[in-house]
Structure 1
Amino acid sequence: MKVGVVTFPGSLDDVDAQRAVRLGGHEAVALWHGDHDLRGVDAIVLPGGFSYGDYLRCGAISRFSPVMTEVVEAAGRGMPVLGICNGFQILCESHLLPGALIRNQRQKFLCVDQRLRIESTRTPWTAAYAEGQEVVIALKNGEGSFVADEETLDRLEGEGQVVARYLGDNPNGSLRDIAGISNERGNVVGLMPHPEHSVEELCGTGTDGLGFFALATLATEVFA
């Protein structure tokens, strides 16, 4: 598969995401925020970082980038899209996912090895895991607290759209310990932890994040 990784001004983890895609067995394609061409990719990753310096709100400017017009349309057709950290924020700002990410409860940037539980495997990004599987993945954010109204939270829980949940101490105050969610169709996933930093034994937290880049089951076959 060809997996596009979008670079915005201020992206920090785009190269890391490209490497993770390759380690997952796929071709990484660099996409630029100012382009309307998705270059024939089969899936898209919006990486972490501080796009446009996090001015206004995290992801608030990036949602208007030319490439996001194409990403929104592709997601509507069922293309798998993964937003990591800042990418998660962009997906929420683009209304591809509900809710919002706000300042951490303790008002500090954090960087930790975080335990997670995979709650849903019905997305192409989590199909390589087992439901209920516990993993350790790097987490680093300053605005990582997921919030939504109670009705939205109940719907996410009831429809199985909570993809991953924090275990142990809640690191950033996310409601209901939510670390990642999907849209109703399951092809769009937002994840606050950084699986691209957990794909090698040599550095990071090990290889627990590699499953997010396996894309073991094509969305067009199962999730469309």
Structure 2
Amino acid sequence: MKSAVITFPGSNRERDMMNALKLITGHESAAVWHQDTALPDVDLVVLPGGFSYGDYLRAGAIAARSPVMRAVAEAANKGVLVLGVCNGFQMLTEAGLLPGSLMRNADLHFVCREVKLETVNTASAFTRGFKPGQVWRCPVAHHDGNYFADSETLERIESGGQVAFRYADGTNPNGSVNEIAGVLNATGNVLGMMPHPENLVDPLQGGTDGRSLFASIANLMETA
């Protein structure tokens, strides 16, 4: 499986993501800079976590207008898989590649802890390795992770199976509507999520619950 990880000024999880992808797929990821205007030929594009441009204006707002994002949108429209984690999720909503928006956490505090996620959709390339309703552990680290969508949009994504993950067992750390922790686009090839699965893929990190997400993609690419 070929992948690319994009770095923006203020990104701080790109190496974590690259390490997770190499650990699970056995292949190095291509490093892409935010000012690049083209992407390499890859199966997966990842927008990692961090605080791009210091979260000025709104988290992810400036990064969503970086030159590379036009190439990301074009790749997504062609069916290439796109994963945005934390700040990457914020970028995807700001760029219009995913519905809804990410607001300040309900208590206005930065949160850094472990949560539990319930797997809602198991039909996408990102989630096919999970069982329906499977609950798994995952770390979070964010200040603007409160997912919001208006009632019409919320009804559309809920009925369309676009909710990938929900916070489970009362662990919602930010006040997200309907406990939403991860959202897919209508065609299922773009996923945004606030928790960091890349930080729970090795026993040295305290567990391997995050492996299933990356293994889902890798296994799909191997059988395609």
If the length of structure 1 is used for normalisation, what is the TM-score?
Answer: 0.95
Where 1:157 maps in the other structure, the secondary structure is helix
CA distance in 2, matches of 1:139, 1:132: 20
Cα drift, residue 26 of structure 1: 4.7
Q: Which runs of 5+ in 1 are unaligned?
A: none
Q: Report the counterpart of residue 7 of structure 2 in structure 1.
A: 7
Cα drift, residue 70 of structure 1: 0.3
CA distance in 2, matches of 1:116, 1:17: 19
Point out the more displaced range, 123-132 or 80-89: 123-132
Q: Which runs of 5+ in 2 are unaligned?
A: none
Residue in structure 1 matching 2:177, options 175, 179, 196: 175
Deviations, residues 137-191 of structure 1 (Å, cap 9, x unaligned): 0111100000000111111110110000001222100000000010010000000
Change over 3 Å in CA distance of 1:92–1:206 after alignment to 2? same
Residue in structure 2 matching 1:184, options 183, 186, 193: 186
Q: Report the counterpart of residue 211 of structure 2 in structure 1.
A: 210
Change over 3 Å in CA distance of 1:26–1:182 after alignment to 2? farther
Number of residue equivalences: 220
Q: Report the counterpart of residue 161 of structure 2 in structure 1.
A: 160
Aligned residues: CA RMSD? 1.4
Point out the more displaced range, 80-89 or 17-26: 17-26
CA distance in 2, matches of 1:60, 1:160: 26
The runs of at least 4 consecutive aligned structure 1 residues that moved more than 2 Å come to: 218-221
Where 1:45 maps in the other structure, the secondary structure is strand
What is the correspondence of 1:1-224 to structure 2 with a 5 Å cutoff? Answer: 1-27=1-27, 28-169=29-170, 170-203=172-205, 205-214=206-215, 215=217, 216-218=219-221, 221=224
Change over 3 Å in CA distance of 1:112–1:218 after alignment to 2? same
The amino acid of 1:196's aligned partner reads E
Identity %: 49
CA distance in 1, matches of 2:106, 2:8: 27
If the length of structure 2 is used for normalisation, what is the TM-score?
Answer: 0.95
The amino acid of 1:156's aligned partner reads I
Deviations, residues 183-214 of structure 1 (Å, cap 9, x unaligned): 010000000000010101112x4111112212
Cα drift, residue 217 of structure 1: 1.4
CA distance in 2, matches of 1:37, 1:155: 32
Cα drift, residue 219 of structure 1: 10
